[in-house]
Structure 1
Amino acid sequence: MAKDDEQIQIHNHKHKKMFIGVIWNCASELKLLLSTLLFLCSIITLFQIFPVRDLRGCAAFPPPSAVTTELIASPPLVQTKELEDVAVDGGLIKRTFNGYGTAAYNFILMSAYRGGGATFAVIGLSSKPLHLFAKPTYTCQWVPHTATVSDENITVAGYKILPDWGYGRVYTVVVVNCTFPFPVGEDGSGGRLLVHASTAGGGDSNFALTDTIDALVEAPGSVNVSRFDAPPEYEYLYCGSPLYGNLSPQRVREWIAYHVDLFGQKSHFVIYDAGGVHPDVMAVLRPWVEKGYVTLQDVTEEERFDGYYHNQFLIVNDCLHRYRFTTKWMFFFDLDEFIFLPETTIKNVTDSLSEYTQLRISQRTMSNKLCYLDDHPGKIYRKWGIEKLVYRDTKRGIRRDRKYAIQPRNVFATGVHMSQNLKGITIHKTEEKIMYYHYHGTISERREPCRQLVNTTEKNVDGTPYVVDTTMREAAGAVKRFELRMIGPVLQNTHQ
């Protein structure tokens, strides 16, 4: 029996030694396990002391899915101070209006251009009610890339020009002139032009807001101030109004060929597409783009903002400041209008009027429905529009629109029918030198323009007298030959 007890003790002693050996060999793992258990117990204790929501903002990892669902389902409410109706003396109840969201932007930047060593033009849209009921202001700031103590904060008041006043809709066009007292950034160091647009309360001083617009950034070495005094690249540049709708490719074809021929080799045409340059119109413009006569710009994005006539004033002001140093004369008219010179060339006309900053161009209104039935009635539908639409409106005593041309280096903002923001003088009586024929609405329809064939030289329609004027018909032959010589027969099968 004693022997058996001794064997049991020896066996237990062996097991104890084995257990101690295992623990000793696994000491590091056990320490890690105990540390982890201690950490988890501490976290549980903290969660019992502090609410879960208070710790959420300090968590380094995303919250559990259940908490995320709670946040999405119950977003925090934005506290808005709502105004209430108030009863005042005399039984009068003063009504109040609570606005939510944004009705119109304070400023929508389209472009900004340097106009010299010390001056810039910033072109954009702004809320028309804001300018109608308040007095918003603009402050210009030049921030050099490498500021020194003397020029680290160069700020001046911006001069606001509203070229479409009276025409704007939800938005009105604003041209902000920023002129600093001395040249900035012309040394090639680069910088940024900031415009601080203040709403001036919008009629309510409690809601005066200021937005900072990053209008222009000039990289170091990107400014070439010599171009402001260099001879222009072009003699004549056309600034077009935005094109929209289902335009007639044939009318566009006639217009571009006619005016490239009229203005000559040192001319250029800038056309803005607001949705009207569909594939058939693009096919007409492409040969002239490839020849270097046409630049096409896509401005369909501006259609989101409700301004006058597809933001026409915005487009012409962008064109003015973008190209003002590249051309001697800049022309503004539409693609259903044809410039005509009674006796001379365009260069002779502009040279004789070089003392004027602006020249106005009078209108000859043509019928867009009456066509002259001549000796070949079967061929009339194959003729160009300027060949068959030959009846001119001769009504007297009415005011007709004019278009215009300017020497752009002396103009600060411009309009659709004339510029009122310029340095210099304007000549209005130019009928003996230059005019334009207006075929109203013919470019916006893709069907045959002839609605009525007439075989008399005079016609009265709804009280409007018309007479035959074949001036443009006689010019069509030379324009057709010019087109064939310049781009070949590629457009011979163009349809309405």
Structure 2
Amino acid sequence: MVKDNDQIQIPNQRDKKMLIGVVWNCAAELKLLLSALLFLCSLITLFQFFPSSFRDLTGCASFPPPSSALQLLVTPPPPPPPVHNKLQDVVLQGGLIKRNFNGYGSAAYNFILMSAYRGGGNTFAVIGLSSKPLHVFAKPTYLCQWVPHNATDNQPNITVPGYKILPDWGYGRVYTVVVVNCTFPSPVGHDGGGGQLLVHASTSGGGDSNFDLTDTIEALTETPGSLNPLQFTAPPKYDYLYCGSPLYGGLSPQRVREWLAYHVKMFGENSHFVIHDAGGVHPEVMEVLQPWIEKGYVTLQDIREEERFDGYYHNQFLIVNDCLHRYRFMTKWMFFFDVDEFIFVPKKDTIKTVTDSLLQYTQFTIEQRTMSNKLCYLDDNVGKIYRKWGIEKLVYRDTKRGIRRDRKYAIQPRNVFATGVHMSQNVKGKTIHKTEGKIMYYHYHGTISERREPCRQLENTTEVNVGGTPYVVDTTMREAAGAVKRFELRMIGPVLQKTHQ
């Protein structure tokens, strides 16, 4: 139904004739437009079959890029690579063919700098990696140069030969560890003016006897006024400092928890632990470390970048040498062992009485007691044993005789120039190995690297032979566990009570 005020427009006959006329008069233009559209659609359909070099021309017809993209477009291209003059074979007189060889790229870096530290007024240590074949089959050399910020007659540029130390005993892979000792005839930078230590690393023809390539390394820079000479003579901050090898893989948070609480208790409040993360400190392990970091007992260093370079065992020789020189003036004693190893001294002694009795030695080594990583002593019901700490239930000790077991060690770091994993050969002073009965370590091999219940075989006898290896029950560490648990609770509270394997 239509209201009276609604207007309905009905085209009349005259309007219809006008529309038909307009269309008829423009028929040619409409034909041309439709033909153009048809041609364009056909062209787009066929375009996908054209060669790629032709398709690239379509960029000319595209819309202009935004201003940010325009800036990128006008950025000059990178410089071309250097032209390699390829040597060709040559036919000599008499028909002799002289063959030529063309080298490209580089198999390994000449030197990879990790760190450099002062060892005194006139001496420095530069720690890094270098090509192992270069050092095995050639004789690379190092020159050390001290460049004062304001060179004078009293503080000139001084250059001395660098003394290289290879502390990994040939264990390197593509890379080996190099510690370059730079010792100048007199103190440098002692006026407080600052300066720079440069190391000139020469291949000495290693790899290609036609070339003696030298790389200049900016090893260390001291700003004016930054040198504090008292650091070399002041009493150390810590009694004991732990330098850890790289942690990697899926570590067990519970095993790390036990290890850390046990050793903080043993070494005491004037101790410190340097942990190196090569990929093993996942979030649950970090939860274990965090309370001790907040208490000031632990320093965590992220060294995952070293995984780029193929060295022995996650470059552990590199890491322990960096730790040695970084903290050498901060502690009386420095310990080197792993997180599946527990230091132990008999009840009649303490770690202090042991180290005080060995002050005349720069280094002492520690005997190993090898524990089974899967045999558990079932002197309680099964439900209880699985709730115990690893050091409580892994109590079977390997008693096989006539085999050599690795030792770990401790040093007075101010007298050490480079170090290793099981001992150091670069020390000033005496080393003692006969420490049996004074100090030892319990080794639970492999337990730290598995996030699973370690008890895989339960025994209820005090002696057992498994796979030709005799074991005997040794409850020494079990007896220490109760005091460690109470210590942890007193120090950091119940925050780690729900830690999982």
When normalised by structure 1's length, the TM-score is: 0.83
- In the TM superposition, residue 186 of structure 1 has moved relative to its aligned partner by 1.6
Assess, with a 3 A threshold, how the Cα gap between structure 1 residues 155 and 98 changes in structure 2: closer, same or farther. same
Is it true that 1:179 corresponds to 2:188 in the alignment?
A: no
- In the TM superposition, residue 79 of structure 1 has moved relative to its aligned partner by 2.2
Is it true that 1:273 corresponds to 2:277 in the alignment?
A: yes
In structure 1, which of residues 433, 440, 443 is the aligned counterpart of residue 448 of structure 2? 443
Is it true that 1:252 corresponds to 2:252 in the alignment?
A: no
- In the TM superposition, residue 83 of structure 1 has moved relative to its aligned partner by 6.7
- 8 Å CA contact 2:90–2:98 kept in 1: the answer is yes
- Tell me, in whole angstroms, the C-alpha distance in 1 between the residues paired with 2:91 and 2:249: 50
- Tell me, in whole angstroms, the C-alpha distance in 2 between the residues paired with 1:161 and 1:374: 52
Q: Hey, what does 1:302 align to over in structure 2? A: 306
- 8 Å CA contact 2:341–2:442 kept in 1: the answer is yes
Assess, with a 3 A threshold, how the Cα gap between structure 1 residues 146 and 387 changes in structure 2: closer, same or farther. same
- Tell me, in whole angstroms, the C-alpha distance in 1 between the residues paired with 2:446 and 2:97: 52
Is it true that 1:229 corresponds to 2:233 in the alignment?
A: yes
- Tell me, in whole angstroms, the C-alpha distance in 1 between the residues paired with 2:497 and 2:204: 58
- 8 Å CA contact 1:165–1:172 kept in 2: the answer is no
SS, match of residue 334 in structure 1: coil
- In the TM superposition, residue 204 of structure 1 has moved relative to its aligned partner by 3.1
- In the TM superposition, residue 115 of structure 1 has moved relative to its aligned partner by 0.6
SS, match of residue 163 in structure 1: coil
Is it true that 1:416 corresponds to 2:398 in the alignment?
A: no
Q: Hey, what does 1:460 align to over in structure 2? A: 465
Q: Hey, what does 1:49 align to over in structure 2? A: none
- Tell me, in whole angstroms, the C-alpha distance in 1 between the residues paired with 2:465 and 2:137: 48
Assess, with a 3 A threshold, how the Cα gap between structure 1 residues 451 and 127 changes in structure 2: closer, same or farther. same
- In the TM superposition, residue 99 of structure 1 has moved relative to its aligned partner by 2.9
The residue type equivalent to 2:145 in the other structure is Q
Q: Hey, what does 1:123 align to over in structure 2? A: 127
- Tell me, in whole angstroms, the C-alpha distance in 2 between the residues paired with 1:92 and 1:107: 41
Assess, with a 3 A threshold, how the Cα gap between structure 1 residues 160 and 374 changes in structure 2: closer, same or farther. same
- In the TM superposition, residue 375 of structure 1 has moved relative to its aligned partner by 2.4
SS, match of residue 295 in structure 1: strand
Assess, with a 3 A threshold, how the Cα gap between structure 1 residues 402 and 104 changes in structure 2: closer, same or farther. same
- Tell me, in whole angstroms, the C-alpha distance in 2 between the residues paired with 1:352 and 1:367: 32
- Tell me, in whole angstroms, the C-alpha distance in 2 between the residues paired with 1:210 and 1:73: 25
- Tell me, in whole angstroms, the C-alpha distance in 1 between the residues paired with 2:212 and 2:87: 18
- 8 Å CA contact 2:343–2:442 kept in 1: the answer is yes
In structure 2, which of residues 341, 346, 349 is the aligned counterpart of residue 337 of structure 1? 341
- In the TM superposition, residue 187 of structure 1 has moved relative to its aligned partner by 1.9
- Tell me, in whole angstroms, the C-alpha distance in 1 between the residues paired with 2:427 and 2:288: 35
- Segments of 5+ residues of structure 1 without an aligned counterpart are 1-64
- In the TM superposition, residue 166 of structure 1 has moved relative to its aligned partner by 1.4
In structure 1, which of residues 402, 407, 429 is the aligned counterpart of residue 434 of structure 2? 429
In structure 2, which of residues 291, 296, 321 is the aligned counterpart of residue 292 of structure 1? 296
Q: Hey, what does 1:484 align to over in structure 2? A: 489
Q: Hey, what does 1:383 align to over in structure 2? A: 388
Q: Hey, what does 1:22 align to over in structure 2? A: none
SS, match of residue 261 in structure 1: helix
- Tell me, in whole angstroms, the C-alpha distance in 1 between the residues paired with 2:281 and 2:355: 31
Q: Hey, what does 1:156 align to over in structure 2? A: 160
- Tell me, in whole angstroms, the C-alpha distance in 1 between the residues paired with 2:299 and 2:91: 59
Q: Deviations over 1:53-101 (max 9, x none)?
A: xxxxxxxxxxxx9xx99x9799677123447599999x99998754311
Give the helix-richer structure, 1 or 2.
1
- 8 Å CA contact 1:328–1:407 kept in 2: the answer is yes
Is it true that 1:369 corresponds to 2:374 in the alignment?
A: yes
Is it true that 1:405 corresponds to 2:418 in the alignment?
A: no
When normalised by structure 2's length, the TM-score is: 0.82
- 8 Å CA contact 2:190–2:227 kept in 1: the answer is yes
- 8 Å CA contact 1:394–1:467 kept in 2: the answer is yes
The residue type equivalent to 1:340 in the other structure is F
- 8 Å CA contact 1:368–1:449 kept in 2: the answer is yes
Is it true that 1:169 corresponds to 2:170 in the alignment?
A: no
- In the TM superposition, residue 150 of structure 1 has moved relative to its aligned partner by 4.8
Assess, with a 3 A threshold, how the Cα gap between structure 1 residues 348 and 210 changes in structure 2: closer, same or farther. same
Aligned identity (percent) is 82
Q: Deviations over 1:340-381 (max 9, x none)?
A: 001310000000010000000000000001011112221111
- Segments of 5+ residues of structure 2 without an aligned counterpart are 1-69
SS, match of residue 483 in structure 1: helix
Assess, with a 3 A threshold, how the Cα gap between structure 1 residues 85 and 331 changes in structure 2: closer, same or farther. farther
SS, match of residue 210 in structure 2: helix
Aligned residue pairs: how many?
Answer: 428
